[in-house]
Amino acid sequence: MDKNNYCVIMAGGVGSRFWPLSKKQQPKQFLDILGTGKTLIQLTFERFASICPVENFFVVTNAKYKDLVLQQLPQIKENQVLLEPLRRNTAPCIAYANFKIQKRNSEASIIVTPADHLILNETKFLDVLGKGIKFVEDGNQLLTLGIQPSRPETGYGYIQVSNKAVTNNSDIYPVKTFTEKPHLDLAKIFHESGEFYWNSGIFVWKLKDIQEAFSRYLPDVKALFEDGIDSLDTEGEQAFIDQIYPECQNISIDYGILEKSENVFVYCSEFGWSDLGTWGSLYEHSSKDNNDNAVQGENVMMYESKDCLVNVPDDKLVVVQGLKDYIVVETDKTLLICRKRDEQELRKIVNDVKITKGEKFV
């Protein structure tokens, strides 16, 4: 295991599209949403533990989730949990982690990953990561992992690749364009062209190269953290972060740096990836019964129902009769029943609940 390998886990999202299971007090990254006995952030940590030493992990999350992180990842220390006072998208999050790592190891190679993704073929994934780390060590490249699309998905960002691969690695290509979630007609064109890959949101780069990119494309964000680097790893760190974070530009690393840089590459692969962004994506990757129902809950009885996703507590008896293509989710205070094809309405529903029923249900 290389002591220069670092892993930054981004775990600050609220996961509103998995409501009512995911709520502000406990978002989806802290839930056993796959029914494996482990939460998504625990699975993410374990995924990278064979590549990065335990002391080289950093989890960036909202301040309110500090205790959840430490409870679920007892392997890491308190100073490895970086607390954001408010959400400012991925660029400030990554900048914060960069400076924490810089104080420890200027030669670091960094993997940046969301906390809530699904990887089915972990052997292939780790092989890709190993080759990716070797690739960025040989130059000043910024690397993102691209996924071979299996359908014209409108919920993912896309990366268009150059038609000429890197000479010594036929799976790594220069990036031509980035496109955020396209409409269906455009997604179909992307899917059929063979030039576009899903943007996994998993990145690999050397510390010096990403810091140079911040200097060039997001100098104001970098300067905010640079001014207080001496306070990091001291008792004054949190006060400093709380002070500067509201001043940080609210911007993604993709839009702020990667779309502007000329040295961005994509490793095109397929290892059973999903961002688990919706109930529908969870249904797609869940085991199903003979009627294509994906059921989580020990006391669920299904009658004349097909293509449903049911997620209920083990101690509840739930009987579902005559439903097709529905989502049924129950928590201690909330029951959701909606058609799978209408789940994009969940954010509006959650907002309506907040307005009419108060914060206790969200």
Residue 176, token pair as written in the block:
């031509």
pLDDT digits (tens, 9 = 90+) for 298-316: 999 999 999 999 999 999 9
Q: Do residues 65 and 11 make contact, with C-beta atoms less than 8 angstroms apart?
A: yes
Strand partners, 119: 273
- Taking a C-beta distance cutoff of 8 angstroms, is the pair 144, 266 a contact? yes
> What pLDDT is recorded for position 183?
83
At residue 138, the pLDDT reads 82
Q: What is the DSSP string of 153-218?
A: -SSS-EEEE-SS-BTTBTTEEEEEEEE-S--HHHHHHHHHHS-EEEEEEEEEEEHHHHHHHHHHH-
What is residue 139's predicted lDDT score, i.e. its pLDDT? 80
Whether residue 80 contacts residue 101, with contact meaning beta carbons closer than 8 Å, is answered with: no
* pLDDT at 170 (0 to 100): 75
- pLDDT < 50: residue spans in the chain: none
Alpha-carbon span 94 to 302, nearest angstrom:
45
Report the first-to-last Cα separation within the chain, whole angstroms: 42
pLDDT at 34: 86
Q: Provide the total of helices (H) and of strands (E) in the chain, helices listed first.
A: 11, 17
Residue 235's pLDDT is what? 94
Separation of CA 147 from chain center:
14
Task: Determine the Cα angle at 222 with ends 221 and 223, to 5°.
Answer: 90
